[in-house]
Amino acid sequence: MHNNIPMYIDGEFIQSQSTRAIPVTNPATQLVLTNAPCATQDEVAFAIASAKTAFESWKETPSPERARLMMRYQQLLKEHHDELAEILSQETGKIFADAKGDVWRGIEVVEQACNISSLMMGETAENVARNIDTYSYIQPLGVCAGVTPFNFPAMIPLWMFPLAIACGNTFILKPSEQDPMTPMRLAELFHEAGFPKGLLQVIHGDKEQVDQIINHPDVRAISFVGSAHVGQHIYRTGTHNLKRVQCMTGAKNHMVIMPDANKSQVINNIVGASVGAAGQRCMAISVAVFVGASKDWIPEIKEAIASVRPGLWNDEDAGFGPVISPQARTRILSLIEQGKQEGANCELDGSTFTLPEYPEGNWVGPTLFSGVTPDMTIYKEEIFGPVLLTMESESLEQAVELINNNAFGNGTSIFTESGSAARYFQHNIEVGQVGINVPIPVPLPFFSFTGWKNSFYGDHHAYGKQGVRFYTETKTITSRWFDEEALHGPNMTITLK
């Protein structure tokens, strides 16, 4: 019998009183690592109440003091970097190199949170009218919440709670029930860093616990990363409750390959961008659009992708690991089969791949389709597996039109040697994150993660300056001071308490 993973409530690691728990399995072996308890209604309510109480004193803590604690936290994360990556590999199946990247990209956001004092500076204008000045302050909201996905269990929680807490808020984290061990280790290091109790609460569960959080009147803001279906539910419910909400959701990312591009660079970049991390990235390249003669490179790309072998997290020769669950594998295989039935050419079929030593693993081999059209299910749906679709276009304008007609707008890229082609692409494309000879253009945290269309619901994007604005309110003061004679006239005695 496996023990339940603890929750972190009111500054203590406690065992839930719930009778319902979700097994957390190793995707390569199906061995149960632990169980994620589904927090009771009382436990969720207690976590929110604790966060509300902690906010009253934390919001008064000077921002340099908050920053110093965050500096201590990022140092602990660096000291435990490889340990975190190993935990992450065990519960997600990611190969070690990918897991380390997951942890490091989260640490970069924590480093940005250490700069919180300058990020929360307001504005001042003198003499907006005679002897009247106006200035603004940036102040925290209160209790904020985050619901995070399975595919980046270190990076995405670290997108959220360090920045929210550095701004002076408190935070309720509901990590994915499929891999909660990494977020709990993040919470342990947060506790070790010496933050006051109640600033961060971590509870486990599924839709029931999420619904309680997003409907609770004391939760002011909600951050979410995950599927479009769930994101739409959270956005509609949260905004219906008059809360501030940001939801980063689905994607269908295209890479445009121009005939003048460097062929070896295209091949090297498209392999990792498409099947790396088993394709379980919202910024993965899932569609390659070949313009003109570049379509002749498809056989060489097929050869390069075919050389990538899935394997265990600590196999240095493995290109990626298993997908997260048997259910995810079944869905991916179903979409591959549907692609074949709808007339796409399956140039490389990974649906039968397995590791003989680990036959129970959620294995899907690298898969490549050609002849894909926009009406096919494999094009319209986010596969979220190691599957690359290829399409052909007669011109850059036609490729841009294809991408702009897609419902999603998370990320895209172009490979070209032409500055004018790159300029046309970046200006006309209706996608939030654009790479020029960069396949996966995830911005560093001093910028913001800026998906568009059905890839994002909300007004302020994640981390960076927009993240700070999401977790804060602006207060504007208009001020006039009278002269000394007026101050010392009759009945002008002021008592300060």
Q: What b/e string do you get for 449-478 counting C-beta neighbours within 10 Å, with b at 16 or more?
A: bbbbbbbbbbebbbbbebbbbbbbeeeeee
Best CA proximity match to 142, nearest among 199, 183, 190, 70: 199
Best CA proximity match to 320, nearest among 358, 271, 356, 286: 271
Q: What b/e string do you get for 313-344 counting C-beta neighbours within 10 Å, with b at 16 or more?
A: beeeebbbbbbbbeebbebbbebbeebeeeeb
Q: Which two tokens stand for residue 471?
A: 């977790």
From CA 496, how far away is CA 185, in angstroms rounded?
A: 47
Those residues whose C-beta lies under 8 Å from the C-beta of residue 485, and which sit 6 or more positions away, are none
- Chain centroid to Cα 190, Å, comes to 19
Q: Residue 264: phi, psi to the nearest 5?
A: -65, -35
Those residues whose C-beta lies under 8 Å from the C-beta of residue 361, and which sit 6 or more positions away, are 27, 28, 29, 30, 93, 322, 354, 355
Sign of the torsion formed by the C-alpha atoms of 342, 346, 350 and 352: positive
Q: Which of 114, 144, 282, 346 is catalytic?
A: 282
7 beta partners: 14
Those residues whose C-beta lies under 8 Å from the C-beta of residue 292, and which sit 6 or more positions away, are 258, 259, 393, 394, 395
- Chain centroid to Cα 452, Å, comes to 14
Is 38 considered catalytic here? no
> How do strand 132-140 and strand 143-147 relate by DSSP bridges?
unpaired
Q: Can you say whether residue 138 is alpha, beta or left, with left for phi > 0 and alpha for psi between -120 and 50 degrees?
A: beta
Q: Which two tokens stand for residue 291?
A: 């313009």
Q: What type of residue is 372?
A: V
From CA 352, how far away is CA 333, in angstroms rounded?
A: 9
- The residue behind tokens 């121009």 is 258
Positions marked catalytic? 282
